[in-house]
């Protein structure tokens, strides 16, 4: 199989040309993988299968729906780098063990380290995961993510930038970050902003779920197969001795199922959705939904309004701006901006909505978060602007090897 670049030479050149900044930060990440719920058990949380020309990484934290932590991000980077540099490997696959592909970042562990005052561990978590996402988005070999089961937040982030995404009848997708006082991250402002119409804004603000058929219909998934066929797909991909994406595409198509979204699906509301979510501000979006609900009494408008009113007002405003900016940015630019936003979100400087949202939804589970500010009217332009700024003047931005790994999209 023909190799385009050497990952090890890319790494060494980047170290030489950038004073080792990226590598030094990665080494600090790897050296801090002990005594933290964000960094436990690096080897066992990602298993490996395959031989010949195929390798499969298996997310192996089924008890927490394969939630990502720093260790998993570092392990995936190490594996993917070695596989990319191996001329005998043509296909890389990623799947989850159990009933989830990946439910996103381990936000309960993140919540706990923040409450303990360990903000640096939170920074390392985002730094490591975002760097892996950029690696995936610039990967030199065909990548197949088998999105069987729950695929949310960071789980989408470590799959959608890759070449192929196979959804099934068991897939459940969402970017539910606004429900916990955060913002859709892990590259979400890039891929959501490229969805048809204003569907990305809708998904980002409401945290609504999509099934596998809906993912295929809007482009989040590249293929759809019944879950019962997954063993056959894995067997077929494992037998291939090629790195030709067209051959892999043909193999996946052989197991595809012809499906159409349910009549109640949000994709059938796209005209109304675009009319409401195409507005410039959250307030105008809500006004449009209220007008639509009053005029038509339809269930979709009413339920969408309720979802928006249950979320953090500040999260709604920063998330809308994030998606709008993502429409005009590359993957690396989105990740760098999202890193700033994520550090603001966990720092508590502007608001403690993230910790409050996790407490209410996942820790105490009273589902009664007390947002601060409590209403859209009290969210100032300065607050939103600050959310997009570095936490401090000395805080370094996310470093990505963009000169040597140029994003394909």
- pLDDT recorded at residue 38: 67
Residue 8, pLDDT above cutoff 60: no
Mean pLDDT of 353-376: 96
Residue 7, pLDDT above cutoff 50: no
Q: Where are the beta strands (DSSP E) in 182-338?
A: 210-211, 223-224
pLDDT category at 73 given cuts 50, 70, 90 is very high
Bigger pLDDT: 5 vs 335:
335
Nearest CA to 209 out of 72, 110, 307 is that of 307
- Percentage of the residues of the chain whose pLDDT score is greater than 90: 82
Supply the CATH classification number for the domain 41-388: 3.90.226.10
Residue 121, pLDDT above cutoff 60: yes
DSSP state, residue 41: -
Pseudo-torsion of CA 274, 377, 361, 300, nearest 10°? -30
Mean pLDDT of 74-103: 96
74/34 Cα distance (integer angstroms): 13
Q: 233-247 pLDDT, tens per residue?
A: 999 999 999 999 999
Question: Both tokens of residue 310?
Answer: 């249950």
23/25 Cα distance (integer angstroms): 5
* pTM for this entry: 0.90
Mean pLDDT of 111-124: 94
Mean pLDDT of 312-332: 97
Residue numbers annotated as active site? 105, 154, 177, 185
305/285 Cα distance (integer angstroms): 9
Domain residue ranges of the chain, discontinuous segments joined by +: 41-388
303/325 Cα distance (integer angstroms): 27
């Amino acid at each position: 199989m023909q190799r385009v670049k050497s990952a090890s030479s890319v790494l060494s050149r980047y170290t030489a040309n950038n004073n080792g900044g990226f590598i030094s930060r990665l080494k600090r990440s790897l050296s801090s993988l002990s005594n933290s719920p964000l960094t436990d058990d690096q080897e066992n949380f990602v298993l490996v299968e395959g031989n010949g020309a195929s390798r499969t990484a298996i997310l192996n934290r089924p008890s927490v729906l394969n939630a990502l932590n720093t260790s998993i991000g570092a392990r995936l980077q190490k594996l993917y780098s070695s596989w990319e540099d191996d001329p005998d490997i043509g296909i890389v696959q990623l799947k989850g063990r159990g009933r989830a592909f990946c439910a996103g970042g381990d936000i309960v562990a993140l919540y706990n380290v923040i409450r303990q005052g360990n903000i640096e561990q939170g920074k390392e978590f985002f730094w490591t995961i975002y760097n892996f996402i950029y690696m995936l988005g610039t990967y030199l070999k065909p990548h197949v993510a088998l999105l069987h089961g729950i695929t949310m937040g960071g789980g989408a982030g470590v799959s959608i930038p890759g070449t192929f995404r196979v959804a099934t009848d068991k897939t459940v997708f969402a970017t539910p970050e606004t429900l916990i006082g955060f913002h859709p991250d892990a590259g979400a402002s890039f891929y959501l902003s490229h969805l048809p119409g204003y569907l990305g804004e809708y998904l980002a603000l409401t945290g609504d779920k999509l099934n596998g058929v809906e993912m295929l219909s809007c482009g989040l998934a590249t293929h759809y197969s019944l879950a019962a066929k997954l063993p056959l797909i894995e067997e077929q991909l494992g037998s291939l001795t090629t790195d030709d994406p067209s051959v892999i595409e043909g193999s996946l198509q052989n197991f595809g199922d012809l499906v159409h979204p349910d009549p109640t699906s949000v994709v059938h509301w796209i005209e109304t959705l675009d009319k409401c979510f195409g507005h410039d501000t959250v307030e105008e979006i809500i006004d449009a939904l209220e007008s639509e609900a009053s005029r038509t009494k339809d269930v979709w408008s009413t339920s969408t309004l309720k979802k928006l009113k249950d979320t953090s007002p500040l999260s709604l405003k920063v998330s809308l701006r994030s998606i709008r900016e993502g429409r005009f940015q590359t993957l690396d630019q989105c990740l760098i901006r999202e890193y700033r936003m994520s550090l603001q979100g966990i720092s508590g400087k502007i608001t403690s909505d993230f910790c409050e949202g996790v407490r209410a939804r996942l820790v105490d589970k009273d589902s009664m978060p007390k947002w601060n500010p409590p209403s859209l009217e009290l969210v100032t332009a300065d607050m939103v602007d600050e959310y997009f700024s570095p936490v401090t003047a000395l805080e370094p931005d996310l470093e990505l090897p963009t000169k040597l790994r140029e994003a394909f999209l």
